[in-house]
Structure 1
């Protein structure tokens, strides 16, 4: 097991994981419902289709919306349970082994990489902004940054004292780093899709 800093429960990380997990799961659930509706009512606009630019249908109907051969939201329905369970367990005082934290972090690495790819596909290939997809992006990014900082700070990734110091510093900058990531996405969307002109 790895000790938590000063033996205290990591309440902030736990709450972030629970909130991110709940929001991410709800977004995945909502997209799944939209996909079911589209299958039952072909040609009908989805409830999250607000304009040619801001819509779910183009994303759900595209090959990018079913990377593994089934709708991507089903991945979210399964995957977002993990942060919720881990967050609740941490609040309850659970302590996890180093290997568990490494695997949990790798899960977030995969999620972040997938989200980065989906963002690029949405903006540069499909030319749309899916509302529920953006909700997923908005919780995956801070979740990845916070978990990365935490595993470094607690020594789950054995990089010595320097790694722990970097993790502590990084954790303090997660909110600002998250905002900067959002700004970068917004700028890319504006430059590519001229979002402001659509309002």
Structure 2
């Protein structure tokens, strides 16, 4: 059975983690800046407010935008550093223990769960599509798929060897799985908000 200690360096995963981390951090930074502007002047419009449907302001100023008592983007400013650091370490040929991969996988899973909740709130409660939020969704979802498939294929998550092989094969399908997830989100938004008519 392949173990986390002898699996070949996952170069593609490492590069993706760095790119996703940078893109996610930029989105979090832009949302943080917009939130600060709105705090300074609640009557102002956020730069990402394009229409009643496509906007950031409603999301940022809602209670959903500060679930833990501070603006959600602050979570992104700190959290998106983790994939960048892990990706860079992997490129440097670092080897992580099982507990580290499990902790990282748990963090990524928590991020996905939070994003799913935010998507539901955005579509079904706030009735908006926040541009920078959608950028965050677009990197969180494939990151989850990629990390979980990697944890399965290296045996960090205890599974039979056959499941490890399947997970290894599915790594190549992560982009398609992500597109499928995006399509589901787009369909839900269309059924609820009829966003296509806005463009």
Mind listing any 5+ residue stretches in structure 2 that lack a counterpart?
Answer: none
Q: 1: distance between equivalents of 2:162 and 2:60?
A: 44
Measured on the aligned residues, the alpha-carbon RMSD in Å equals 1.0
Q: What aligned pairs does 1:1-199 form with structure 2 within 5 A after superposition?
A: 2-5=4-7, 8-199=8-199
Offset of residue 173 of structure 1: 1.2
Show CA shifts across 1:99-140 (max 9, x none).
000000000100000011100110011000000000000000
SS in 1 for 2:48: coil
TM-aligned CA deviation for residue 40 of structure 1: 1.2
Contact 1:66/1:72 (8 A) holds in 2: yes
The whole-number CA distance in structure 2 between the counterparts of 1:194 and 1:155 is 43
- TM-score (structure 1 length as normaliser): 0.96
Q: CA-to-partner distance for each residue in 1:135-175, whole Å, 9 max, x for gaps?
A: 00000000000000000000001112023123112212111
TM-score (norm 2): 0.96
- Give distance in 2, aligned partners of 1:75 and 1:108: 13
- Asked if structure 2 preserves the Cα contact closer than 8 Å seen for 1:146 and 1:171, the reply is yes
Number of residue-to-residue matches in the alignment: 197
Q: Which runs of 4+ in 1 moved over 4 A?
A: none
Is contact 1:4-1:10 (8 Å) kept? no
The separation in 2 between residues aligned to 1:29 and 1:65, in whole angstroms, is 14
CA distance change for structure 1 residues 71 and 11 in 2, over 3 Å: closer, same or farther? same
